[in-house]
């Protein structure tokens, strides 16, 4: 979504080739997206509270299935980031930092807990099964954490709203309150991951 917006992706074949070259799996972490931005020449800055994998996630149902296979791979990506010119910072950001970035016409990819994120514009709440990998069964019980990426594209300071695109819905713009956004993005499991992407790439 972001690469098309930046006009850095002409067709799906280039994207598929990048996935193969970067050895991206079905389990996508924010560091993977940072490498993808670098691959296509998108100027970016990845901020996270944790450089590497939080071992506490091993016990969370969302991470448990792929944790052992992914821990080493993801930690290696963090270790090589600087030499690969992938900009990663151990830091937390404020809503004001995010608003300033958006005010300059840029976008950001944010990891949120989809269980907590509520769109004020959608007529019905999103079901958790929308975010499950293909082939994984959903019994529609509410998990504690469901990691999901959204793309921030604007805000309204007067109404204290954040506007975002949800990749689960290609046909609409979503909006939520700053309070709800903060709750979803700072939930345990997100590491407060945010990938700032600059439109002047």
* Longest distance between any two alpha carbons in the chain, whole Å: 46
φ, ψ at 76 (rounded to 5°): -65, -40
DSSP 166: -
**pLDDT (tens digit per residue) in 17-37:** 988 999 887 789 999 999 999
DSSP 156: E
- Within 8 A by CB and 6+ apart from 198, the residues are 42, 43, 44, 106
Q: Tokens 């689960």 appear where?
A: 168
Best CA proximity match to 150, nearest among 138, 162, 142: 162
**pLDDT (tens digit per residue) in 66-125:** 788 889 999 999 999 999 999 999 999 999 999 999 999 999 999 999 999 999 988 665
Query: Alpha helix (H) ranges present in 40-164?
Result: 61-64, 67-80, 95-103
Best CA proximity match to 46, nearest among 104, 107, 106, 109: 109
Residue 12 has pLDDT above 90, yes or no: no
Per-residue confidence at 135, pLDDT binned at 50, 70, 90? very low
* Structure-token pair, residue 114: 């989809």
* pTM, to two decimals: 0.86
State the Cα–Cα distance between residues 98 and 106, nearest whole angstrom. 10
Q: How many CB atoms lie within 10 A of CB 38?
A: 18
Q: Is 107 helix (H, G, I), strand (E, B) or coil?
A: strand
């Amino acid at each position: 979504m972001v690469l098309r917006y930046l006009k850095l992706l002409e067709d799906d074949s280039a994207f598929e080739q990048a996935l193969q070259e970067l050895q991206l799996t079905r389990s996508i972490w924010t560091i993977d997206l940072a490498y993808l931005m670098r691959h296509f020449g998108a100027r970016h800055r990845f901020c996270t509270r944790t450089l590497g994998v939080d071992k506490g996630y091993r016990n969370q149902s969302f991470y448990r299935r792929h944790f052992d296979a992914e821990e080493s791979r993801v930690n290696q990506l963090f270790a090589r980031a600087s030499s690969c010119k992938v900009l990663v910072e151990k830091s937390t950001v404020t809503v004001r930092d995010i608003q300033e970035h958006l005010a300059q016409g840029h976008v950001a990819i944010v990891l949120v807990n989809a269980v907590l994120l509520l769109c004020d514009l959608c007529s019905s709440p999103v079901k958790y099964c929308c975010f499950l990998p293909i082939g994984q069964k959903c019994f529609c019980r509410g998990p504690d954490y469901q990691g999901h990426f959204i793309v921030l594209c604007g805000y309204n300071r007067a109404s204290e709203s954040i506007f975002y695109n949800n990749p689960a819905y290609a046909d609409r713009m979503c909006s939520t309150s700053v309070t709800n956004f903060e709750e979803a993005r700072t939930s345990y499991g997100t590491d407060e991951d945010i990938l700032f992407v600059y439109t002047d790439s």
